[in-house]
Amino acid sequence: MKHLLISILIVSLFASCKKKEEESAEPIDNSKYSTMLMVGAWPNTAYFMLNLQSLTEGTADLKGNGAEMTKYLYAQDVIQKNGYYYHAKSSTGRLGKYHVSNNKLYVDKEILFTELDWSSVVWADDETLVMFGTNADQNKIRYAILNTSTMVVKSSGDLSVNALTTGMAAYNVCFAQYRDNKIFLGYGMRSNWDNWPVMESADKAMVAVIDYATMTVDKTLEDARSTSPGGPNVYCPYSFVDENNDLYFITDPVDGYNYTQPSYIYKIKSGETELDATYDFNFSSTVSNGMAAAIWYIGEGKAIIRTCVAGTSIDADHSYSIVDVHSGAFIKTLDLPADKGERYVQSVVIEDGKAYIAVNSSDRDYVWIYDPKTDALTKGIEFVGGLDYILRLEKLR
């Protein structure tokens, strides 16, 4: 009888695992876009992924739709590639791969992941994800390389960055950008949380130049005009490589607890690993001392920057600025409703030379389409159904 019960249990477990594998093998549907919507207020929040066929017309109704992801997430730090979502949750020590089909979330695979508390990532190729973050004490910057097909961590380790200076207790891991077998990783330093909200922080921007083949730091670039080079790109982008293979990144001092230095745009020329000393773009001086909170490249030198109003809060109102990074010039602020609160929002999709912008306004929430060739701004899809925030807008294919 005992052996029979064990046999039944084994069969039951096998069937359960098999069912889960079959369920997670459900194919991704043919939606072109997706959005992450939040209901509630931190920390009492619920997160939903809603697939969309169009951003230009109609309504996206959360009521009765959307795949809930809440139990798998810390917040909206979810990255997406080819319709698959990835999220590392340090509180549970898990890293997962997921997809959505027909308003249902499927778990493709979850693994134990304690190598780091992630902040920024780069894709070395279509199935190699390089992750950066800190250790639990935040006094080391670490990396981990993941094969996203097998969900196996191939390697991990510490990075030899500048040592914490006097009064600094922790690192902030900022933007990460892959180019020509080098990874450019921005970082900052700050004092102990006991000093919050009046934190001490590094008074210069620092960027580690990492050799991807060996994951060793070749050198660290430094500049005292600004600090906090970008932020955690698992939330939104802070850098890009343009059609000339030039690399650009923004700084966001307020996000790094520095309330005195301006937000800058920096350039690293193609084939070089130094900051372009001839490039000087003080972004804050063009937007009444506002801060650059995220940047997306449209093309032909034009970029769109989610811009936070001046002040010490990272969750104040935001606007959208158009700049020409090639000439280092501010062009205009788009005539859009104020984008309310919440610093970390992946709110822009670039497609066919146009910017599709999700705006969380005080009354109705839309995607707006900006065409830099005609300077036209038109209203697209509307979000309804009781949501509180549009946190991510993604192009799936």
The per-residue pLDDT for 291 is 97
372: left (phi over 0), alpha (psi -120 to 50) or beta: alpha
The reported pLDDT for the residue numbered 184 is 99
Min mean pLDDT across 20-29, 214-223, 388-397 is at: 20-29
pLDDT digit string (tens) for 4-35? 333 433 334 334 443 343 345 577 778 999 99
pLDDT the model gives residue 17: 42
Q: Report percent pLDDT > 70 for the chain.
A: 93
Q: Minimum mean pLDDT among 17-31, 195-209, 287-301: which range?
A: 17-31
Torsion on CA atoms 384, 388, 391, 396, rounded to nearest 10: -20
In a domain, 227, yes or no: yes
Does residue 296 surpass a pLDDT of 60? yes
Q: Stretch 160-186: mean pLDDT, rounded?
A: 97
- Taking 90 as the threshold, does the pLDDT of residue 314 lie above it? no
Residue 252 structure tokens: 């966001």
Which pLDDT score, from 0 to 100, does residue 323 have?
99
At residue 53, the pLDDT reads 95
CB 394 within 8 A of CB 349: yes
Output the pLDDT for position 2.
36
Residue 197 belongs to some domain of the structure: yes
| 393, part of any domain | no
What letter would DSSP give residue 346? Answer: B
Q: Which structural domain range is residue 242 located in?
A: 115-289
CB-based contact 54:381 (threshold 8 Å)? yes
pLDDT of the residue at 27: 75
Q: Is 178 inside any structural domain? A: yes
Looking at residue 25, what is its pLDDT?
58
- pLDDT tens per residue, range 341-375: 688 999 999 999 999 999 999 899 999 999 999 99
Contact (CB, 8 A) for 141 and 162: no
pTM: 0.93
pLDDT reported for residue 313:
85
**Mean pLDDT score of the chain:** 92
Q: Tell me the H-state helices in the chain.
A: 2-24
Residues in Cβ contact with 374 at an 8 Å cutoff, skipping those fewer than 6 apart? none
Question: Among the listed ranges 2-16, 153-167, 245-259, which one has the minimum average pLDDT value?
Answer: 2-16
Residue 18 falls within a domain, yes or no?
no
Specify if 255 maps to a domain. Answer: yes
| Domain annotation covers residue 272 | yes
| Averaged pLDDT, 191-196 | 83
Neighbour tally for 8: CB within 10 Å: 10
How many folded domains does the chain comprise? 1
Question: Distance between CA 343 and CA 264 in Å, rounded?
Answer: 17
d(CA 348, CA 359): 9
Q: Does residue 173 sit within a domain?
A: yes
Choose between 257 and 119: higher pLDDT: 119
Q: What is the DSSP string of 179-208?
A: ETTEEEEEEEEE--GGGTTS--B-SSEEEE
